[in-house]
Structure 1
Amino acid sequence: MIELTRTTIQKRTLWVLAISQIFGTIGVGVAPSIGILLAEEVTSSEAWAGLARTASTLGAALLGLPLGNLAARFGRRFALSGGWWLAALGALLLVPAAQFQMVILLFAGLLLIGSGSAISLQSRFAATDLAADDHKGRSLALIVWVGTIGTVLGPNLGVPGQAISNATGLHVYAGAFLIAGIAMLLAGLLVFLLMRPDPLLLIRENDRSAGAALPVRQRGSLKRFASELRNNLRARYAVVAILSAQVVMVAIMTMTPIHVTHHGGSVSLVGITISLHILGMYALAPAVGYVADRWGYRFSIGAGLAIFAASLLAGGLHPESMGWIMTSLILLGVGWSFINVSGSALFATVISKQERASVQGGVDALSNLCGATAAFAAGPLMAISSFSALTVIAAIVLLPLAAMTSLVPARAGAEN
């Protein structure tokens, strides 16, 4: 395949991924907002509602590896479209769950909608399949960045949901999830119809045509994932970066609204703080991708660690100042962006071609699982200590990554 053709196909792939990501994340974005409100209404129990709140995250963790295996076997097109459609099914199950207050459908729907989160993550890796090594960071960051649009719009589906409710008599939450389901159906349809040729299958075909030797597959998805990490130092470094950033970000973000309200902050202040945090997570992603490509992944991960440190210091030293807490959350989002984008791009660069889709699904599943665990643990930890103590624990979590960044030989932290 001549380079011009590869470049043209890559541009087409990025367009398809970007547009489908916008539609898909509109649907995914409804789960942590309206999904929480629905869970509280349907269950009428804080304990059960708490489980329902984490169902979508658990779904993303459980489905990440199978969807990665689907991509490995049949290509990105089938995995991404199938994942969006599975998430759409989850959203549509939540329509009767809201309308008729059905607990079983509530849990099933939220679990399946987690497929959308898994596919949103897998889409960023799909953007790197045909990208040149010195452009993988920017390609991945573009897909992360456009997801901001859906992430912002999704939590606000209650407004058109109310309009549907007024016109049809549907419950307002049912109307919101109906819109979410349609959006994710469209995302899957766009990928299925337009992602041709499939970037992952195209790479394999080119390797076969060039006579490249491909490693023999091991049995078992988990064995392949574990083997890749055991034998690939740079992959281990990337995974530690991704997981560390996820744990720290989720733990602090989860407890900030409670901390703010306990210190007299209003609900609107909580909303503004979280919105600015999300903006920090995604708005600078293209710039982060450029930095990673230009100066190396280890440099940008180190920058993310420094920003994380500033965030934790701001929140830990000034826990009663809402201005400092807001600053802390913005920096937390930016630090996460630097480490997550850089770690993900490094991972996409250094993993073996034969195991690419499977192990990418594995790291996404592990990331979601770690995020869910961090969310569960953060509450009890802060209950028995304080918000400042939680920032100290978060800083300790970052120490292994800091050690790897400073001590691992240059070849283990560079992109080449």
Structure 2
Amino acid sequence: MNTITTTTTAPHPAQRRILTVLVTAQILSGAGLAAGITVGALLAQDMLGGAGWAGLPSALFTIGSAAAAALIGRTSQRLGRRTGLVAGYAAGALGAVGVVAAATADNVVLLFASLFVYGAGTATNLQARYAGADLATPQHRGRALSTVMVATTLGAVVGPNLVTQLGDLARIVGIPALAGPFLLAAAAYASAGLVLWLLLRPDPLTTARAEAALPQSTATTTPSPAAAATTAANTRMLVLGAAVMVLAQLVMVAIMTMTPVHMTGHGHSVGAAGLVIAVHVAAMFLPSPLSGFLVDRLGRLPVAAASGVTLLAAGLLAALAPPHSVPLLALALALLGLGWSFGIVSGTAIVTDTAPLATRARTQGLVDVAIAVAGAGGGLASGLVVAAGSYTLLSLVGGVLALAVLPAIAWTARPVPASSRRAR
């Protein structure tokens, strides 16, 4: 069903070096990613005086992530992955500095604007996975992009567990404690951008385009009914890949965002909430090699289906776990992260398989816009649902919604009608 754009089986000689550089940058940027997840909702709750809008920070930096994803995709399409990713990390670092300034000045408007800009770091961290797959062979795309993703684990797990220490450091220098993790985020994003600017050579996307130029021009000048049918099938697969990632992001962000608020509201410390988020983020990225292996070995569609089922299990457990049970909440958030990993890795492989190389980066950027918008909606709605209902209701709705991936897969598996083939 999903057409591979090349039949090359030998690895590109630059692929190992590119993966090494990307892994190094992801380790650094992971710490920046964790700041907004861990304390963003708590900071807004503290500054706004209530839980009803605690989901707003997540919504703001995911909306910022959406805008950044489109810009990074377009920049990468024109100037290469290196320039696009570096610009994204620079914006993320600037936004983190702005959050610290806003918390210090108790300026809500500056906080919201800075969280929007901070979202560029999140978008860049996620888009780096595409760079890992640019020069990978089709049979190893899942493992290549998952290698980049798993590198995020170290920084993303260490970051939430430093909440208390960073808060102490922030107080020493006259900054509100909850803004402390954003100091780490600024340094992390800036360091990741510097690594990529200095070392990501050759650029994976421009290299892939240059090497595929002749085969691409031949294919585009010889249209045929078979090629039209392939285009129709590829369009379906591209839509499916985007839908899988959108659903995974929506459900994951909604439940994850309100978990620290849910825990602190039932007497848990910020450190305990940070531990649960650390487990969650580890489960998002640490199983990535397994997700990539399964995608390459079993196929894209079975792993996409597993994403929906795993997210349902996470939602049910989060809803039924006693509020005082840190282990059960941690297990629920671990399943939430694993389901997200299955969805993102399988969806990314589908999109990379089916997006034409000539427009691949721009298409991937637009897909990530949809992912970020879904995350923004999930983050914003999560606080409202919990305020109007409960964390239990939010978790149940999220888990059931994740199952929508199954009819989407069934629709994709249906044969393309003959009339559609002729029309195309």
Partner residue in 1 for 2:152: 147
Partner residue in 2 for 1:136: 141
Shift of 1:98: 3.7
In the alignment, the residues of structure 1 paired with residue 49 and residue 295 of structure 2 have an alpha-carbon distance, to the nearest angstrom, of 47
Larger deviation, residues 269-278 vs 115-124 = 269-278
Shift of 1:19: 0.9
In the alignment, the residues of structure 1 paired with residue 50 and residue 155 of structure 2 have an alpha-carbon distance, to the nearest angstrom, of 30
Is structure 2 residue 375 aligned with structure 1 residue 371? Answer: yes
1:235 to 233, 238, 251: 238
Partner residue in 1 for 2:122: 117
Q: Deviations over 1:290-329 (max 9, x none)?
A: 1111111112122223323333443455666835544333
Partner residue in 1 for 2:292: 289
Instruction: Please say if residues 61 and 369 of structure 1, whose CA atoms lie closer than 8 Å, have aligned partners that are also in contact.
Output: yes
Instruction: Please say if residues 91 and 181 of structure 1, whose CA atoms lie closer than 8 Å, have aligned partners that are also in contact.
Output: yes
Structure 1 segment 7-406 matched on structure 2, within 5 A = 7-40=12-45, 51-155=56-160, 156=162, 159-160=165-166, 162-163=168-169, 166=172, 176-209=181-214, 212-213=217-218, 232-260=235-263, 269-316=272-319, 322=325, 324-406=328-410
Q: Deviations over 1:190-247 (max 9, x none)?
A: 111211111111111112355635869xxxxxxxxxxx99961111111111111112
Q: Which residue identity lines up with residue 340 of structure 1 in the other structure?
A: I
Shift of 1:406: 4.1
Q: Which residue identity lines up with residue 152 of structure 2 in the other structure?
A: G
Instruction: Please say if residues 80 and 203 of structure 2, whose CA atoms lie closer than 8 Å, have aligned partners that are also in contact.
Output: yes
Larger deviation, residues 90-99 vs 278-287 = 90-99
In the alignment, the residues of structure 1 paired with residue 261 and residue 47 of structure 2 have an alpha-carbon distance, to the nearest angstrom, of 22
Q: Deviations over 1:45-90 (max 9, x none)?
A: 7677654453222211221111111111111011001111111222
Relative distance call for 1:264 and 1:36 in structure 2 (3 A) is: closer
Relative distance call for 1:248 and 1:38 in structure 2 (3 A) is: closer
Unaligned runs of 5+ in 1: 217-227
Relative distance call for 1:55 and 1:173 in structure 2 (3 A) is: same
Partner residue in 2 for 1:222: none
Q: TM-score, normalised by structure 1?
A: 0.83
Give the count of matched residue pairs.
398
Instruction: Please say if residues 215 and 354 of structure 1, whose CA atoms lie closer than 8 Å, have aligned partners that are also in contact.
Output: no
Unaligned runs of 5+ in 2: 1-7, 222-230, 417-424
Query: SS where residue 135 of structure 2 aligns?
Result: coil
In the alignment, the residues of structure 2 paired with residue 99 and residue 300 of structure 1 have an alpha-carbon distance, to the nearest angstrom, of 45
In the alignment, the residues of structure 1 paired with residue 393 and residue 166 of structure 2 have an alpha-carbon distance, to the nearest angstrom, of 41
Shift of 1:29: 2.1
Relative distance call for 1:197 and 1:267 in structure 2 (3 A) is: closer
Instruction: Please say if residues 26 and 153 of structure 1, whose CA atoms lie closer than 8 Å, have aligned partners that are also in contact.
Output: yes
Q: Which residue identity lines up with residue 293 of structure 2 in the other structure?
A: Y
Relative distance call for 1:253 and 1:96 in structure 2 (3 A) is: closer
In the alignment, the residues of structure 1 paired with residue 329 and residue 26 of structure 2 have an alpha-carbon distance, to the nearest angstrom, of 31
Shift of 1:137: 0.7
Relative distance call for 1:369 and 1:375 in structure 2 (3 A) is: same
Shift of 1:277: 2.3
In the alignment, the residues of structure 2 paired with residue 324 and residue 130 of structure 1 have an alpha-carbon distance, to the nearest angstrom, of 41
Relative distance call for 1:310 and 1:54 in structure 2 (3 A) is: closer
In the alignment, the residues of structure 2 paired with residue 176 and residue 272 of structure 1 have an alpha-carbon distance, to the nearest angstrom, of 14
Q: Which residue identity lines up with residue 144 of structure 1 in the other structure?
A: M
Shift of 1:286: 0.8
Instruction: Please say if residues 163 and 274 of structure 2, whose CA atoms lie closer than 8 Å, have aligned partners that are also in contact.
Output: no
In the alignment, the residues of structure 2 paired with residue 195 and residue 94 of structure 1 have an alpha-carbon distance, to the nearest angstrom, of 29
Shift of 1:187: 1.3
Q: Which residue identity lines up with residue 97 of structure 2 in the other structure?
A: L
CA RMSD of aligned residues (A): 3.3
Instruction: Please say if residues 230 and 236 of structure 1, whose CA atoms lie closer than 8 Å, have aligned partners that are also in contact.
Output: no
Query: SS where residue 133 of structure 2 aligns?
Result: coil
Larger deviation, residues 360-369 vs 310-319 = 310-319
Instruction: Please say if residues 34 and 158 of structure 1, whose CA atoms lie closer than 8 Å, have aligned partners that are also in contact.
Output: no
Relative distance call for 1:299 and 1:66 in structure 2 (3 A) is: same
In the alignment, the residues of structure 1 paired with residue 155 and residue 169 of structure 2 have an alpha-carbon distance, to the nearest angstrom, of 20
Query: SS where residue 358 of structure 2 aligns?
Result: coil
Q: Which residue identity lines up with residue 88 of structure 2 in the other structure?
A: G
In the alignment, the residues of structure 2 paired with residue 270 and residue 161 of structure 1 have an alpha-carbon distance, to the nearest angstrom, of 14
Q: TM-score, normalised by structure 2?
A: 0.81
Q: Which residue identity lines up with residue 365 of structure 1 in the other structure?
A: V
Shift of 1:171: 5.9
In the alignment, the residues of structure 2 paired with residue 139 and residue 239 of structure 1 have an alpha-carbon distance, to the nearest angstrom, of 19
In the alignment, the residues of structure 2 paired with residue 54 and residue 357 of structure 1 have an alpha-carbon distance, to the nearest angstrom, of 24
In the alignment, the residues of structure 2 paired with residue 399 and residue 42 of structure 1 have an alpha-carbon distance, to the nearest angstrom, of 36
In the alignment, the residues of structure 2 paired with residue 385 and residue 252 of structure 1 have an alpha-carbon distance, to the nearest angstrom, of 14
In the alignment, the residues of structure 2 paired with residue 306 and residue 134 of structure 1 have an alpha-carbon distance, to the nearest angstrom, of 25
Instruction: Please say if residues 61 and 368 of structure 1, whose CA atoms lie closer than 8 Å, have aligned partners that are also in contact.
Output: yes
Same amino acid, percent of matched pairs: 34
Query: SS where residue 232 of structure 1 aligns?
Result: helix
Shift of 1:361: 1.0
Relative distance call for 1:319 and 1:4 in structure 2 (3 A) is: closer
